[in-house]
Amino acid sequence: MDFLQAFYLGLLQGLTEFLPISSSAHLILIPAFFDWVDQGVAFDLAVHVGTLLAVVIYFRKDVFGIARDGLISMSQRRVVGQGALALYLVIGTIPAGLAGLALLDFIDNELRAVEIIFATTLFFGLLLGLADWLPKRQRSLESLNWKDALLVGIAQAIALVPGTSRSGITITAGLFLGMSRQAASRFSFLLAIPITALASMVKLLEVATADVMVDWSAFLVGGAVSFVVAITAIHYFLKWLNKVGMWPYVIYRVILAGVIYAVLM
């Protein structure tokens, strides 16, 4: 992998991981468009670590407060501060964690086809548009309950299918549950932390056990670029959320589906 390929893939991962347009689809499609060799599991680990650091640092105050209150709530056996939100993040992570353990090989071997990505890009993009178009509700994070967390978690598990978009489908689920755009997006981003950490650990274990040779220059470039771009993407996504809504991303996904159909199918 040369410098420019590592740079572009890191940029792509950082930009698409937290926007509702599917990072997995782009990381599969772009090498197909340009006939690049597969970037390999070590590079995937680098860009995942970059985006994980980005969301943790951006929400560092929330992460610290939620973790602290969660531990206090556990020790005192009562809800303290944001202890309930800590529990809901755990509940929301369980479906994707179990689905990943059970189905990851099947997904990697059977569901990375261009036809699947075309269908998921289009369908879940339009579903996001429908959720954003429906009459707005104003539920906040404080109004969440364990059933909401479980439903959003199930949606996150569906996002293991390439082209779905983890952030897109979890925000869609939040909007259908009556959450405001800000609340749905914030819960989606916080929910990214445990599942991305788990995915990174799985990839790290794969790299260690498979004796994969690591291209450290590509690793560092991809990780650094994905970190900088991801933290910028989160900031501007939340800043512009109420002004532009979800429809720019819906339109992008419809156009992308059209390009996939015209060029790769």
The tens digit of pLDDT for each residue in 112-130 reads 888 999 999 999 999 999 9
- State the average pLDDT for the chain: 90
Closest among 16, 45, 51, 49 to 30, alpha carbons compared: 16
Report how far residue 142's alpha carbon sits from residue 6's, in angstroms, rounded to the nearest whole number: 41
Report how far residue 133's alpha carbon sits from residue 11's, in angstroms, rounded to the nearest whole number: 30
Q: What are phi and psi of 145, to 5 degrees?
A: -135, 180
Q: What is the pLDDT of residues 159-196, one digit of tens each?
A: 999 999 999 999 999 999 999 999 999 999 999 999 99
Q: Which residue has the higher pLDDT, 109 or 149?
A: 149
- What are the beta bridge partners of residue 139? 179
Q: What is the pLDDT of residue 53?
A: 95
Q: What are phi and psi of 161, to 5 degrees?
A: -75, 120
pTM: 0.92
Q: What is the CA radius of gyration of the chain?
A: 18
Closest among 11, 96, 9, 8 to 44, alpha carbons compared: 9
